[in-house]
Amino acid sequence: MHLDLTGRTALVTGSTQGIGLAIAVDLARAGARVAVNGRTAERVDAAVARVRDESGGEVVGVAADVTTDEGTATLATELPEVDVLVNNLGVFGAQEALTITDDDWRRYFEVNVLTAARLIRTYLPGMRDRGWGRIQNIASDSAVVIPAEMIHYGVSKTALLALSRGFAKEAAGSGVTVNSVIAGPTHTAGVEDFVYQLVDPALPWDEAQREFMRTHRPQSLIQRLIEPEEIAHMVTYLASPLASATTGAAVRVDGGYVDSILP
């Protein structure tokens, strides 16, 4: 299977580390011109160098806080046309349900949902006019299996699934596809911090990971954390011409964590 994105420009938000960085590398390896995005120029420049080094592809960087109207305007000015939009940016963290304040709820909704909606509004019209485009929203198993320790995160990701389905209908018949990618428990630096919030911080990482999966994610069929590259491979496939008939879907890369026979 040859995934060729030559001639396409791909934007990955929140791509200076973790899953976003892995997605940027994978898209660049498939031939896309990739735009790395983060809030600070220093982190963006470092990520651009890493993506370029690991992929050998064409990479640009745009430092902009896309959770704001001003940052989105900056991004749109520097990158007026995008063929592949990957809304990866998101926040998460453990918090007892009854301590989640209104401000916490607003922050999770604004970052995890409204930011994606704003960027889709920015780039979908151009994709539709050109007759081709790919929009992907990086969701989570928490959208389906709401975790008791972070229900505000889970609810925001559930909303993201609905957002994707709705915009897929808006793009119907245009050559633009809109999908969600349901990522399962994934090994990133941020997740390492999260794991150590829930298990003994004195445990070595391998033991901590096993304890976390056994205690907090026992549904996983692969019984390990997913590597970011495994998420990236699915994103690259969905961005390719080979996935032209997949739209309005919530595609799982969750290690079998969600107990369902449907994707």
83-124, pLDDT tens digit by residue? Answer: 999 999 999 988 999 999 999 999 999 999 999 999 999 999
Give SS3 for 89: coil
Q: Confidence band (pLDDT; 50, 70, 90) for 133? A: very high
Q: Could you tell me if 106 and 164 lie in one domain?
A: yes
pTM, entire model: 0.94
Token pair, residue 97, equals 């349900």
Structural domain contains residue 263: no
Decide if 25 contacts 232 (C-beta within 8 A): yes
* Structural domain span for residue 197: 187-225
**Percent of the chain beyond pLDDT 70?**
100
Mean pLDDT confidence for 200-204: 95
Structural domain contains residue 192: yes
Structural domain contains residue 3: no
The reported pLDDT for the residue numbered 226 is 96
Q: Could you tell me if 14 and 98 lie in one domain?
A: yes
Q: Confidence band (pLDDT; 50, 70, 90) for 223? A: confident
Token pair, residue 61, equals 């960087």
Active site residue 153: yes
Q: Could you tell me if 245 and 178 lie in one domain?
A: yes
Q: Which residue has the higher pLDDT, 1 or 169?
A: 169
Number of domain units in the chain: 2
Report the C-alpha gap between 194 and 189 in whole angstroms: 9
* pLDDT, the chain, mean: 96
Structural domain contains residue 43: yes
Is 263 a residue whose pLDDT tops 80? no
Compute the C-alpha angle 223/226/228, nearest 5°.
175
Q: Could you tell me if 69 and 175 lie in one domain?
A: yes
Q: Where are the alpha helices (DSSP H) in 131-204?
A: 151-170, 189-198
Structural domain contains residue 232: yes
CB-based burial, 19-33: b 16+ in 10 Å, e otherwise: bbbbbbbbbbbbbbb
Q: Confidence band (pLDDT; 50, 70, 90) for 78? A: very high
Pairing mode of beta strands 84-87, 133-140: parallel
Of 46-55, 168-177, 204-213, 230-239, the one with minimum mean pLDDT is 204-213
The reported pLDDT for the residue numbered 240 is 98
Q: Could you tell me if 65 and 171 lie in one domain?
A: yes
Is 154 a residue whose pLDDT tops 80? yes
Residue closest to 227 by CA, chosen among 195, 258, 249, 255: 255
Q: Could you tell me if 138 and 193 lie in one domain?
A: no
Q: Could you tell me if 198 and 154 lie in one domain?
A: no
Q: Which of 108, 153, 196, 257 is catalytic?
A: 153
The reported pLDDT for the residue numbered 217 is 85
Q: Which residue has the higher pLDDT, 2 or 73?
A: 73
Q: Could you tell me if 85 and 202 lie in one domain?
A: no
Q: Confidence band (pLDDT; 50, 70, 90) for 161? A: very high
Q: Could you tell me if 69 and 134 lie in one domain?
A: yes
Give Cα 187 to chain centroid, integer Å.
14
The reported pLDDT for the residue numbered 73 is 97
DSSP state of 60: E
Neighbours of 223 (CB within 10 A): 13
Structural domain contains residue 198: yes
Q: Could you tell me if 76 and 144 lie in one domain?
A: yes
Query: Assign residue 13 a region: left if phi > 0, alpha if psi is -120 to 50, beta otherwise?
Result: beta
